A and B are shown apart, each in its own frame.
Chain A
Amino acid sequence: MSREEEITVEVVAEPHKPSQKVSLRHGSEVGDLFGKMGLLREEYIAMIRGRVVTEFEPLRDGDRVNLIRIFSGG
């Protein structure tokens, strides 16, 4: 895959931990990001620009994705 076909997104998965950069194929969706990171869709809610997004949301180069972990209890 050439550089032109790649996008890079910044992922914040834990509130007090540094974000991480993840590279994906151009045209990838949030569900692909979960797959690449080995995360279960059942355990996280994804947010981009402060709004909840579905697993079918297209990702753009430079997107910052916040992942909220579903904690049990409460």
Chain B
Amino acid sequence: MGIRCDRCGRKARYFQRHSGVSFCGSCFANSLKTRVRRECLKSGILSDSQSLVFAVSGGKDSIACLDMVHPLAEARNVQVAVLTIDEGIRGYRPGGISKARNAAKARGLEFQVASFEQEFGSDLDSIITRLGSPKKACTYCGVLRRWLLNKRARELGADMLITGHNLDDEAESALLNLIRGDPARLARSGPEYLLSHSKLVPRAKPLRRIPGKETLLYDIFTGLDVHLGSCPYASFDMRNVVRGFLNALEDTRPTSKSSFLSTIDRLSAQSRLLYAGLRLVECSRCGEPTAGSVCKACELLDSVGLL
């Protein structure tokens, strides 16, 4: 028989361990929409923006994010476009691009693909070949993707870039930043950018308090068509080790990730004072915003002979 939904009494499909509440699929989807709407209001996404660009990979998080936030934006006449980055990962990325395109089309939204090949003259697979090892794939991919997302979102006229980062992503990044022992990284762990610049599009993460398991459940319960593949380079990332540790912790003590992120947010707000005098300037090579004279993207591209 199983257990019943605490909201409507139908058969429960999900037991939310961190709250102790049981949900049927429909009540769970509604509850998630309410939480995401609250996060949007809190972060000013809906009140401060005229034009949003959603970074959509086609995976479980970004599609769920688009599905929940787009109707809220539409109701306030905020312009919305979908941007997908094609890093060039054989056997993985094409599946995601197709889902992202379908999601944009189904909602009547402008859809753009920006590729590493087009922008940097080389796709990620070729960069890995140049490096001779996939160990640093996520570093190159992450830095170049963020650089490209910001540039294209700005060109699309966005006043905010929306990403589908979830609670798992945020807790993992925060712990990785602590492990790396760099206080500047801790200051950058907060929900917003530490510094502003006319060429830096502010970003928002409406799902940053939602566990990855819950975004996938939302996709299943609402029938969203998402790409479920895993990146072939992900297994080489240190993030995997951190993810396993945090999941084991959450399994033993539900709310661990959420409490950890709340603590990090408070510490991050405190440590921002240390960087009050820091300013962003334009990179001397590409002109994009950076804290140093040359941005990280140019530094990495230079290291593989692409500049």
Contacts and interface: CB of A to CB of B under 8 A. Distances in A.
B230 A73 contact: yes
A62 interface: no
Contacts of A52: 13-14, 25, 217, 220-221
B220 A45 contact: yes
Interface stretch (B40-48, B58-66, B298-306): B58-66
A53 interface: yes
Contacts, number: 77
Contacts of B247: 40, 42-43
Given A41-B251, A54-B22, A70 B212 contact: yes
Interface residues of B, number: 42
A55 B2 CA distance: 9
Contact of B234 (A43, A51, A70, A72): A72
A42 B228 contact: no
A74 interface: yes
A54 B57 contact: no
B168 interface: yes
A71 B12 contact: no
Given A41-B17, A56-B15, A71 B230 contact: yes
A51 to B, nearest CB: 7
Given A68-B216, A70-B216, A73-B59, A54 B12 contact: yes
A57 interface: yes
Contacts of B12: 54, 56
A27 interface: no
A58 B1 CA distance: 7
Contacts of A57: 2
A72 B63 CA distance: 14
Given A40-B247, A42-B247, A54-B22, A71 B228 contact: yes
A54 B15 contact: yes
Given A52-B14, A52-B221, A72 B2 contact: no
B264 to A, nearest CB: 18
Nearest to B168: A72
A74 B58 contact: yes
B185 interface: no
Interface of B: 1-3, 12-15, 17, 22, 25, 57-63, 96, 164, 168-169, 172, 211-213, 216-217, 220-221, 226-231, 234, 239, 243, 247-248, 250-251
Interface of A: 40-43, 45, 51-58, 68, 70-74
Given A45-B213, A70-B216, A72-B239, 17 more contacts: A42-B250, A42-B251, A52-B25, A52-B217, A53-B2, A53-B13, A54-B12, A54-B15, A58-B2, A68-B216, A70-B168, A70-B213, A71-B60, A71-B230, A73-B230, A74-B62, A74-B96
